[in-house]
């Protein structure tokens, strides 16, 4: 089954590129850029990956990304991920990045845009992996700042497949970002948001109503509201579910307790994704293999999940029809 899962053409729709930073590369970039890390060794970094909730992860995630300084750093980060994704049988990656923490430490907006764009073109040449770029706003920072970043990013809007919304969910409801998302709508940029990861089902309804999103990242808590489930099902709204992430961040205690089978039973348009693979036990293939071990799904279920992702990917239709 593992060989079959590896060969299945997979599209990854929910991936934070800063969350692909493996400890070895963290040390290498820290040395190159003169950044002092609060760890003595790679093993010490890995030992620190013990999370009690989303915030305890975010603290390490924001700390880790401080080693990224130059276009070349972002290029190498993304190339290292594309190589691993290719090994996992991934044919399309939608990578999101968080411009605000980089800007806050003096890394200009063009640095991630240019470095990631170069890696995306190189991945296409080297691995025949297509990709799309998502700029995500950090929801625990002010909405005015997000709006300002969206305007500042104007020279790179043509590179964006979508904008997203991530970081600490509880206490930062989607309605806080209505004006930013309205501006993106005016600009013709598609919109996505994390919702219902740690936050309640009401945040998923809020993302649909206030932000007019075309995809919900996570969304696992929708099951708490039957009317919302019906709404998501009738709209065929994709949910980018991240099974291992949900275990590592204690959204569920064990994968066997994950609501994935129930989401599928409810007829929802679920996809499988890795979220932050360097922090959460591996990439796409590990997520697929873990689901097979936990739920015993047969090939038809995995085919359906992979089909959902290909149908919803920001990808040209000719490539999509070849892959479907």
Q: Which residues are catalytic?
A: 197
Give the whole-angstrom CA distance, residue 26 versus residue 169: 26
Of 76 and 276, which CB lies nearer to ligand ADE in the complex structure?
Answer: 276
Q: Which of 12, 114, 275, 312 binds Zn ion (CB under 5 A)?
A: 275
> Mind giving me the DSSP string for 233-245?
HHHT-EEEE-HHH
For residue 196, the Cα-to-chain-centroid distance in whole angstroms is: 14
**Residue among 190 and 219 whose Cβ is closer to ligand ADE:** 219
Residue 94 touching Zn ion (CB under 5 A): no
Residue 76 interaction partner, one of Zn ion, ligand ADE, none, beta carbon < 5-8 Å per kind: none
Backbone angles phi, psi at 271, to 5 degrees: -125, 160
In the bound state with ligand ADE, the residue whose beta carbon lies nearer, of 10 and 194, is: 194
114 binds, among Zn ion, ligand ADE, none (CB under 5 to 8 A by kind): none
Contacts (CB under 6 A) with ligand ADE, residues 38-97: 54, 61
How far apart are alpha carbons 222 and 219 in whole angstroms? 6
Q: Cβ-count burial of 40 within 10 angstroms (0-12 exposed, 13-18 middle, 19+ buried)?
A: exposed
Q: What is the DSSP letter of 221?
A: G
Q: Is 194 in the site for ligand ADE (CB under 6 A)?
A: yes
Q: Three-class SS of residue 211?
A: helix
Smallest separation (angstroms) from ligand ADE to the CB of 57: 7
Q: Which is nearer to ligand ADE, 61 or 203 (CB)?
A: 61
Q: Which of 146, 244, 259, 252 is nearest to 193 (CA)?
A: 146
Question: Counting contacts by CB under 6 A, is residue 102 touching ligand ADE?
Answer: no
Residues making up the binding site: 14, 16, 194, 275-276
Whether the CB-CB separation of 104 and 286 falls below 8 Å is answered with: no
**DSSP letter at 128?**
-
d(CA 108, CA 123) in angstroms, rounded, equals 24
One symbol per residue from 216 to 255: x for binding ligand ADE (CB under 6 A), - otherwise; what is it? -----------------------------x----------
Q: Work out how close the CB of 255 gets to Zn ion at its nearest, in angstroms, rounded to a whole number.
A: 17
Could you give the CA distance from residue 115 to residue 316 in angstroms, rounded to a whole number? 22
Closer residue to Zn ion (CB): 130 or 245:
245
Least Å distance between CB 194 and ligand ADE? 5
Given the rule CB under 5 A, which residues bind Zn ion? 275
Given the rule CB under 6 A, which residues bind ligand ADE? 16, 19, 54, 61, 166-167, 194, 197, 245, 275-276
């Amino acid at each position: 089954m593992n060989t079959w899962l590896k060969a299945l053409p997979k599209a990854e729709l929910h991936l934070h590129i800063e969350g692909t930073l493996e400890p070895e590369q963290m040390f290498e970039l820290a040395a190159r850029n003169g950044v002092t890390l609060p760890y003595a060794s790679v093993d010490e970094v890995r030992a620190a990956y013990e999370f009690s909730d989303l915030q305890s992860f975010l603290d390490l995630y924001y700390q880790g990304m401080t080693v990224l300084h130059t276009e070349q750093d972002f290029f190498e980060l993304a190339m290292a991920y594309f190589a691993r994704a290719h090994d996992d049988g991934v044919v399309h990656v939608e990578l999101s990045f968080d411009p605000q923490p980089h800007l806050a430490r003096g890394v200009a907006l063009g640095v991630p845009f240019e470095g990631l764009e170069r890696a995306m073109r190189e991945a296409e040449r080297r691995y025949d992996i297509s990709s799309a770029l998502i700029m995500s706003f950090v929801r625990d920072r002010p909405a005015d700042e997000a709006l300002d970043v969206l305007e500042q990013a104007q020279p790179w809007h043509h590179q964006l497949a979508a904008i997203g919304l991530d970081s600490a969910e509880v206490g930062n409801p989607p309605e806080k970002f209505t004006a930013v998302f309205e501006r993106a709508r005016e600009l013709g940029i598609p919109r996505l948001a994390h919702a219902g990861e740690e936050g309640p089902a009401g945040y998923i309804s809020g993302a649909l109503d206030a932000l007019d999103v075309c995809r919900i990242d996570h969304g696992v808590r929708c099951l708490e509201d039957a009317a919302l489930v019906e709404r998501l099902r009738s709209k065929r709204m994709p949910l980018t579910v991240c099974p291992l992430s949900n275990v590592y961040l204690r959204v569920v205690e064990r994968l066997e307790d994950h609501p994935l089978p129930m989401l599928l039973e409810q007829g929802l348009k679920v996809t499988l994704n890795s979220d932050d693979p360097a922090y959460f036990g591996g990439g796409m293939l590990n997520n697929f293999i873990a689901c097979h071990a936990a739920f015993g799904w047969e090939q038809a279920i995995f085919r359906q999940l992979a089909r959902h992702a290909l149908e919803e990917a920001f990808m040209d239709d000719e490539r999509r029809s070849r892959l479907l």
